[in-house]
A and B are shown apart, each in its own frame.
Chain A
């Protein structure tokens, strides 16, 4: 049989979780990570990262809007997906997706963004014209009170929402890790560390994405990059990266040392089919190289330009590394037989519903959403609005 080595159960030839299921944890991870970065400023009062605060929230929202799409597109019967909301199975981790997702979208992200932008929304609903005016009017939800007292209440409530948002972000992504980690049938996935590793790798990717987006958008706007901000963001990324790497190595060392009955099979897999994506891309290029680079920025006094280049390189590599990690978990976990006697292969289609083109489209789509959100709710201070508010 083509693509099959050794003996696999006859129903295992086909891989059912495709590249779209690789994207799903990747995208939700970016959401969770971006939100955690936003919470640094809001809850933990890390003032230096303030320039990224709103961009981080909008990035989280843009990616969250796309997060269910790979899941729904992968279903055999996408139109039956609402059943997960109406008749969820109480023992299924996956059944919780709808609720966790809606909670995070509506009760956390949208609510927090609305509270944070309420003043601007009200002002824009008064100053803009045509369709935009109508959109902003709707977005005010009928509340045009932007008195100092009202804004103070917004701020207080926003703080509470962010506080609730941190465990929610952990829940959103930890739950994705639990979907894999709780399957005892699959030794590659089955690990209580899985949700924790997912959360920390999510934070790395989310922080890297917002850092790169902040640098790119600032450059595009012809503004000067706030190096104090980027240095602080990179420092947090470095620290979280160390925790993430330690956890992944702990998992690896544990598997190697324990060497249960699946070990020989998995060891062979990592040294053959997953060698490039796991050893080369995920561990070397996607983790060790950015960690060393970020370490350099912490211990050596480097020029601003050198630091910028290092941040761009290490951020990009971290994003690629985390994507590779998702690939190795999702696809890698299906490449070996549960008989531990053989392997199958994954051939990615190009133009099918679960093919490469759709995957690329789903990766680009959040960036388009982000562009629209940034146009609608600019994350940087708007002078004209400030003048409108002060009546100058």
Chain B
């Protein structure tokens, strides 16, 4: 077969593209999953959270999170006469084992706030990564390619919510993946599954049948630190103004 120079010029780039696909492999685990059909976020219903720490434990088990670091954690706020404008905040071991029992007669209001990566649409962490090891997927999840991450921790500094850390053994950035290995198989996240009150709900903002659509239309929801303009997709119902 004779290949002219012109044909070769056409074939070579095509072959390069094909070879790139071969190297990249195929997403065999989730053959029916279409990234373009989803835009993931999370709904956190603060009045429903009882601070049991199930979500933290489930996340640590599911994702092998190292001790002392957290992909998700729960904070307890206590507004009392002593702490009227600025409630007292605690999160012992990320709320993993729950919280100290409130003593009889201890006055004031208590509420729990689960925290996690906000999977921001305009995330500062992906912006600053020097090699693009952290990136946002077409379905709206911020992930880290840990085989590529340099471990420079610039993303840790750039996250306004304290959601990132450098894995003490792998020496790469680590954080919530929104259980991407689960949600692409049609499952929900480990934290949502473990939550006994439904305070955390995985939300697909692109799916009109997802209850998030109705919820967002009928409730007053807020994101953390809206002044940061990160396009955060962890939506909080009943968020107190003092929460940072």
The answer to whether B148 and A92 touch across the interface, beta carbons within 8 angstroms, is no
Chain B proximity of A133: nearest CB distance (Å): 42
Chain B proximity of A70: nearest CB distance (Å): 12
Residues of A within 8 A of B94 (CB): 10
The answer to whether B153 and A92 touch across the interface, beta carbons within 8 angstroms, is no
Q: Is A246 an interface residue (CB 8 A)?
A: no
Bound-state CA distance A79–B156 (Å) is 20
The answer to whether B163 and A185 touch across the interface, beta carbons within 8 angstroms, is no
The answer to whether B228 and A185 touch across the interface, beta carbons within 8 angstroms, is yes
Bound-state CA distance A333–B90 (Å) is 22
| Given A10-B70, A76-B166, A183-B158; A92-B150 close (CB under 8 Å) | no
The answer to whether B172 and A185 touch across the interface, beta carbons within 8 angstroms, is no
| Given A17-B157, A75-B150, A83-B148; A88-B165 close (CB under 8 Å) | no
Residues of A within 8 A of B73 (CB): 9-10
Q: Is A81 an interface residue (CB 8 A)?
A: yes
Chain A: CB-nearest residue to B90: A7
Interface size class of A (residues with CB under 8 A): 35 or more
The answer to whether B124 and A92 touch across the interface, beta carbons within 8 angstroms, is no
Residues of A within 8 A of B43 (CB): none
Bound-state CA distance A184–B159 (Å) is 9
Chain A proximity of B168: nearest CB distance (Å): 8
Main SS at interface, chain A: loop
Bound-state CA distance A7–B162 (Å) is 12
Chain A: CB-nearest residue to B159: A185
Q: Is B238 an interface residue (CB 8 A)?
A: no
Contact of A95 among B93, B130, B161, B171 (CB under 8 A): B130
Contact of A92 among B130, B171, B244 (CB under 8 A): B130
| Given A7-B91, A338-B244; A77-B150 close (CB under 8 Å) | yes
Residues of A within 8 A of B152 (CB): 71, 74-76, 94
Q: Is A276 an interface residue (CB 8 A)?
A: no
The answer to whether A184 and B228 touch across the interface, beta carbons within 8 angstroms, is yes
Contact of B68 among A13, A16, A17, A80 (CB under 8 A): A13
Residues of A within 8 A of B161 (CB): 9, 338
Per-residue contact bits, chain A 75-119, to B (CB 8 Å; 1 contact, 0 not)? 111001101100111011111010000000000000000000000
The answer to whether A185 and B160 touch across the interface, beta carbons within 8 angstroms, is yes
| Given A16-B156, A17-B153, A94-B152; A340-B244 close (CB under 8 Å) | yes
Q: Is A341 an interface residue (CB 8 A)?
A: yes
The answer to whether B154 and A184 touch across the interface, beta carbons within 8 angstroms, is no
Bound-state CA distance A95–B89 (Å) is 37
Chain B proximity of A14: nearest CB distance (Å): 7
The answer to whether A341 and B89 touch across the interface, beta carbons within 8 angstroms, is yes
Chain B: CB-nearest residue to A87: B131
Cross-chain pairs A/B with CB under 8 angstroms, 30 sampled = A7-B90, A7-B91, A10-B68, A10-B69, A13-B68, A16-B166, A17-B153, A75-B152, A76-B149, A76-B170, A77-B172, A80-B131, A80-B151, A81-B150, A84-B130, A84-B131, A89-B131, A92-B132, A94-B128, A94-B130, A183-B124, A183-B128, A183-B157, A183-B158, A184-B228, A185-B158, A185-B228, A338-B162, A339-B89, A339-B244
Other A-B contacts than A10-B68, A92-B131, 20 sampled, CB-CB below 8 A, are A10-B70, A11-B165, A75-B150, A75-B152, A76-B149, A76-B171, A80-B149, A80-B151, A81-B150, A83-B150, A84-B131, A89-B131, A91-B127, A92-B127, A92-B128, A93-B128, A94-B130, A185-B160, A341-B89, A341-B244
